[in-house]
Structure 1
Amino acid sequence: MSTPAINPAEARVQSLSNPCYQAANISDNNFEDCIKCTICTVYCPVTPVNPDFPGPKQAGPDGERYRLKKPFYYDEALKYCLNCKRCEVACPSNVRIGDIIQSARLHYSKKKPSLRDKMLASTDFVGTMATPFAPIVNGMLHLKPMKVVLDKVMGIDKHRQFPSYSHTTFTSWFKRHAPEQSRYANQVSYFHGCYVNYNYPQLGKDFVTVMNAIGYGVNLLDKEKCCGVAKIANNLVDAARRDANINLESIRKSVAKGLEVLTTSSTCTLTMRDEYHHILDIDTHDVRDHIQLATRFVYNLIDKGKVKVAFRPDFKRRVAYHTPCHMEKLGWAIYSTSLLKMIPGLEFVPLESVCCGIAGTYGFKKENYNYSQQIGNALFEQITHAGVDSVATDCETCKWQIEMSTGVHVDNPISIFAEALDIEATRRLNGL
């Protein structure tokens, strides 16, 4: 007598109805789809350099099976995960491995965020306090005695270089120029992020320059907070959820007006599009597809013939492009690289897509610093041997890591595009 075929869906329903299974919680993540191929472990940048990290398969889907039965199976070594998402990009079954690990950290870790963790995650607070005294703060952060104090007292590695703070914020600059934006028939909203506001307003100015040149005025969101990635990474989940809801309320107002919300940070983009829903359990389905990187938006306009651009004949530069991990997850590197390749005077040098190792606040922490540098070493060697004038990347923390570790200047693709544009010629081409 032949054995009847088992329908996988029916088998899953039967297993869930088992009283032994019902005693455990049901995961919100899709760990059951894992086929145990271990390709995620092959692509993990942490596993080769840190023997304490169990690897994405064991930390993610395998560990989830145990944690759902008994929370004490949680392993604090999950803190070594970068949340780079490379395991998810590699997974043939689309298991959200990084989300499983991050959710486990938030739900099961018994370690409370330290003062250091809170400081590193409070980007809006620290930025607001630092910018009025930027020259003093920047000078202090570069002093060796201050680095030693931060190392010994706070656990911030003494070798880590801090990004400089600007003496004026991007929002204060924009307020003076906001009236000019209303004259454009087309409009977009801009989520500038903490880095642009407190550390490098020039990127925000370059974004406005590009958008104005192709006939778009720029609006800022009614209220904007940090995207929340640093708070999520440091287990400040309530604060991350509060900031996320504030951002989403403002984003919804812009989308209701018919405006796309553009960003210049791959990490901010991924966090708002995916992490709000997957990690913070906040519904974003109504606005997710209206949040996108500026390079994607601009490229699509040019590609569809809706706008035209002209470039300076004297612009010459050899530029390498580094794909940030979160850009790899978004799958949008093609837009940034295609914009760069449009520039006649730019010699484009592709780099192998590998992690830089900093992972936001991860690489600032003393216990992670050496791992961070080892992870990024392959990238640093590529850049050193490429003989380029500069590197382009869409992630601000990748910029800090590359500049500190190689000495090569790093720009956002939008900034390079703005510098290469012949602004007046572009405006004429677009009837402005």
Structure 2
Amino acid sequence: MTAVRPAELIAVASLNGDEQTKTFENCIKCTVCTVYCPVAKANPEYPGSKQCGPDGERLRLKSPEFFDDVLKLCTNCKRCETACPSGVRIGDIIASARGKHGRKPLSLTTARDFVLSHTDLFGSLATPFAPIVNKLTEQSLVKKAMHHTIQVHDHKSLPKYSHGTFRRWYKKHVADQSQYRRQISYFHGCYVNYNDHSVGQNFIRVMNAMNIGVQLLEREKCCGVPLIANGFHAKAKKNAELNVSQLEKALESRSESVISTSSTCAFTLQEEYPHVLDVDNQKVADKVHLFSRFMFGEWREGNIPKMKPLNKRIVYHTPCHLERSGDHIFTIELLKMIPGLEVQVLDSECCGLAGTYGYKRENYDVSMKIGHGLFEKIDHSQADLAVSDCETCRWQIEENTGLSCVHPLSLIVEALE
């Protein structure tokens, strides 16, 4: 596939909202986007990226009546954009159209979408009672009830919550980080804050081993991608505006960069804010990095912690948004630098979960069909572990294969002397 070159990304990033929409005029109607669309392959009801994106936008500009709810079948995986030889932001066009023209009438499925997307609200409510919430949501009767009411498929297991938040753990347990000469700020995201503190804990440990201090942003909201995917664009924009102000404040202090351990969070902060939500992030975009891009630069310059051999074989799955950004190469190279680690890079393909998409009853079968080939490759790999930078990819892989799937940082921490 042909990735969009950095120069093209910079050129498009400089456009205002109206001019971004006009990028559909660059479409040469080659249909390669539809060929690479995982939904179009698995669901005959979805007309494909070209028809829903550039072709549909031409009609929607004439009249909103041309908006079709079939756009909700798009997973926002961005593989259409990765494949496009003309740099058309097809996924952004579709997401923007859903935010501008989509309607959410009151229904049980609207309530489901609200619960799945408002991660800060429900994470704050659930973490104080995490053991009880986790026990309830794994009960078959509860799953059946959700399946028939709010239409969360009963074959899916909802993510487990941690007891308390990562931010609270940081305040109580992290040693004074100001002792380090170099400082970075950490955008931890909802998953680390409410679901799995270990990713953030591992990140701090590795950064400190590299003599770099880790500060949290003064305030932080969900990056907004689940809100965008479920049609709550107004709320996503409010989150984006707050996050950008906090990123600016952090970079005006001692922090040299803002690092994310989630491939989707990093991509959203950099790309979705200006192109989907029309939130200006030009002051901070080039200072926001995925952990692997930042760490690879440090390791290449010699700032690499001492590590012992792991003597393990792993398979690496590239998340869709990470391939779109082009940063997957940094994670792959980091893994290859861990002594004794045998790395098999799987052919890039969507896992099918796509955030909240695969949890919905109406999307479950398509989700599983999309991920089927990936699951088979992992099960036949004879590896010890699967590895991926994306939390939802890890959930999907663990639920549908025989391997545990971990964040790359867990292997780096395991290798630290």
TM-score (norm 1): 0.90
Cα distance in structure 2, aligned partners of 1:415 and 1:297: 17
Q: Is the 8 A contact 1:26 1:68 kept in 2?
A: no
Q: Is the 8 A contact 2:20 2:275 kept in 1?
A: no
Q: Is the 8 A contact 1:29 1:99 kept in 2?
A: no
**CA displacement 1:201-223 (0-9 Å, x = unmatched):** 01100000000000001000010
2:172 is aligned with 1:172:
no
Q: How does 1:186-265 map to 2 (within 5 A)?
A: 186-259=182-255, 260-265=257-262
Cα distance in structure 1, aligned partners of 2:68 and 2:193: 37
SS of residue paired to 1:348: strand
Q: How does 1:205-354 map to 2 (within 5 A)?
A: 205-259=201-255, 260-305=257-302, 307-313=303-309, 315-354=310-349
Q: Is the 8 A contact 2:351 2:397 kept in 1?
A: yes
Amino acid paired to 2:196: Y
Cα distance in structure 1, aligned partners of 2:254 and 2:179: 17
Structure 2 vs 1, CA of residues 26 and 327 (structure 1 numbering), >3 Å: closer, same or farther? closer
CA offset at residue 174 of structure 1?
0.4
**Percent same amino acid at aligned positions?**
50
Question: What corresponds to 1:14 in structure 2?
Answer: none
Amino acid paired to 2:226: A
**CA displacement 1:38-92 (0-9 Å, x = unmatched):** 1101100000111111100000001111111121111111100011110001100
Q: Is the 8 A contact 1:29 1:96 kept in 2?
A: no
Aligned length: 396
**CA displacement 1:80-136 (0-9 Å, x = unmatched):** 001111000110000000011111111112334711110000111111111111111
Q: Is the 8 A contact 1:231 1:237 kept in 2?
A: yes
SS of residue paired to 2:342: strand
Q: 1:361 aligns with which of 339, 344, 356?
A: 356
Cα distance in structure 1, aligned partners of 2:84 and 2:105: 31
Amino acid paired to 1:383: I
2:121 is aligned with 1:128:
no
Question: What corresponds to 1:75 in structure 2?
Answer: 68
Amino acid paired to 2:180: Y
Q: 1:137 aligns with which of 130, 133, 136?
A: 133
Amino acid paired to 1:319: I
Q: Is the 8 A contact 2:218 2:246 kept in 1?
A: yes
SS of residue paired to 1:347: strand
Amino acid paired to 1:338: E
Q: Which has the larger radius of gyration?
A: 1
CA offset at residue 179 of structure 1?
4.3
Question: What corresponds to 2:180 in structure 1?
Answer: 184
Cα distance in structure 2, aligned partners of 1:109 and 1:175: 41
Question: What corresponds to 2:415 in structure 1?
Answer: 420
CA offset at residue 308 of structure 1?
2.7
Q: 2:379 aligns with which of 384, 390, 394?
A: 384
CA offset at residue 407 of structure 1?
3.1
Cα distance in structure 2, aligned partners of 1:332 and 1:119: 31
SS of residue paired to 1:386: coil
SS of residue paired to 2:223: coil
Cα distance in structure 2, aligned partners of 1:347 and 1:286: 39
Amino acid paired to 1:269: A
CA offset at residue 258 of structure 1?
4.7
SS of residue paired to 1:28: helix
Q: Kindly report structure 1 stretches of 4+ aligned residues shifted beyond 3 Å.
A: none
Cα distance in structure 1, aligned partners of 2:400 and 2:180: 42
Cα distance in structure 1, aligned partners of 2:238 and 2:398: 33
Any stretches of 5+ residues in structure 1 without a counterpart? Answer: 1-24, 423-432
Structure 2 vs 1, CA of residues 163 and 187 (structure 1 numbering), >3 Å: closer, same or farther? same
TM-score (norm 2): 0.93
SS of residue paired to 2:278: coil
Question: What corresponds to 2:28 in structure 1?
Answer: 35
Cα distance in structure 2, aligned partners of 1:29 and 1:203: 40
**CA displacement 1:150-188 (0-9 Å, x = unmatched):** 111111011111111111321111002344211111111
SS of residue paired to 1:30: helix
2:396 is aligned with 1:401:
yes
Cα distance in structure 2, aligned partners of 1:271 and 1:240: 11
**CA displacement 1:13-50 (0-9 Å, x = unmatched):** xxxxxxxxxxxx98734100000001101100000111
Q: Is the 8 A contact 1:27 1:68 kept in 2?
A: no
Cα distance in structure 2, aligned partners of 1:327 and 1:100: 19
